């Protein structure tokens, strides 16, 4: 009798430990995994405030490093991450990251919603350069080329970084971002997109009305073409940093639309 009670108690403890060690989303099956993909001149750490808000609501969040070497190769890398995730995914992208997620989502079957934050939602045959030329602004003049063996990386001039990239965040934060920015290779913004996932996957789009990197007009054009659920806010290019509550709200709308 004592032995059977001890055995039952041990089994209960082991079961409880297994449940505690399992991700909440995997235990309940109630929420999709949210994957956040950063763009050029930034990294995944910028999603910190958004990530915390999503985790507080019980979501599993993954923010992989975007290689920034070209939409096709970057999409293959992000897709390899997505393939390790069971269950539905909400795939979120900022800026150049949109060019990557638009391709990556076509390579897996469980991306159920796309969210674009001031992001590129290109059509087949388009490039970043072509969108910029169609909706021109002054950002291209702030890019600094730095050749390396086999290519050329692009950085944002540190003296212009805050004014163009992130005017609505604290100056010290913008200065740190400027010095630690991750470059995108020139070939990446020239590379043409393949068939886009937004043609078959529901999309959401956040437009920053004060964006000096991807013009608001370009964002409206891409959002309308993708038939995205769209919101506009008074934000610079870094909406995920300056307006994390609004960004989180849009991601939650997309996540809550996913059927389990």
Strand-strand pairing, 143-148 and 151-156: antiparallel
Please, what is the average pLDDT of the chain?
91
Tens of pLDDT, residue by residue over 163-214, are: 999 999 999 999 999 999 999 999 999 999 999 999 999 999 999 999 999 9
Tens of pLDDT, residue by residue over 212-221, are: 999 999 999 9
Q: Among 20-24, 127-131, 188-192, 232-236, where is mean pLDDT lowest? A: 20-24
Tens of pLDDT, residue by residue over 4-32, are: 433 444 344 333 333 333 443 333 457 99
Q: Which residue from 128, 139, 134, 129 is spatially nearest to 103, judged by alpha carbons?
A: 128
Domains along the chain with CATH numbers: 31-257 (3.40.50.1820)
In whole angstroms, what is the distance from residue 33 CA to residue 91 CA? 9
> Which residue, chain included where needed, has tokens 């045959």?
125
Q: Which residue from 227, 220, 221 is spatially nearest to 197, judged by alpha carbons?
A: 227
In whole angstroms, what is the distance from residue 70 CA to residue 74 CA? 6
Q: What is the DSSP string of 187-247?
A: HHHHSPP-S-GGGTS-EEEEEETT-SSS-HHHHHHHHHHTT-EEEEES--S-HHHH-HHHH
């Amino acid at each position: 009798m004592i032995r059977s009670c001890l055995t039952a108690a041990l089994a209960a403890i082991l079961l409880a430990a297994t449940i505690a060690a399992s991700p909440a989303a995997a235990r309940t099956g109630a929420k999709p995994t949210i994957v956040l993909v950063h763009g050029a001149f930034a990294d995944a750490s910028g999603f910190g405030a958004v990530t915390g808000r999503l985790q507080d609501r019980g979501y599993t969040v993954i923010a992989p490093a975007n290689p920034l070497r070209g939409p096709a190769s970057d999409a293959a890398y992000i897709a390899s991450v997505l393939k390790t995730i069971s269950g539905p995914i909400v795939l979120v992208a900022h800026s150049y990251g949109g060019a990557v997620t638009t391709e990556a989502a076509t390579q897996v079957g469980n991306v159920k919603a796309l969210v674009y934050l001031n992001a590129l939602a290109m059509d087949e045959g388009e490039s970043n350069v072509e969108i910029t030329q169609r909706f021109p602004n002054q950002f291209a003049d702030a890019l600094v080329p730095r050749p390396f063996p086999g290519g050329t990386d692009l950085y944002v001039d540190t003296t212009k970084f805050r004014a163009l990239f992130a005017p609505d965040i604290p100056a010290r934060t913008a200065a740190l971002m400027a010095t630690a920015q991750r470059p995108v290779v020139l070939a990446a913004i020239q590379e043409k997109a393949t068939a886009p996932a937004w043609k078959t996957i529901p999309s959401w789009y956040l437009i920053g009305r004060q964006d000096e990197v991807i013009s608001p007009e370009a964002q409206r054009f891409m959002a309308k073409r993708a038939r995205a659920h769209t919101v506009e806010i008074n934000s610079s290019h870094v909406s995920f940093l300056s307006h994390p509550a609004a960004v989180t709200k849009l991601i939650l709308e997309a996540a809550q639309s996913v059927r389990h």
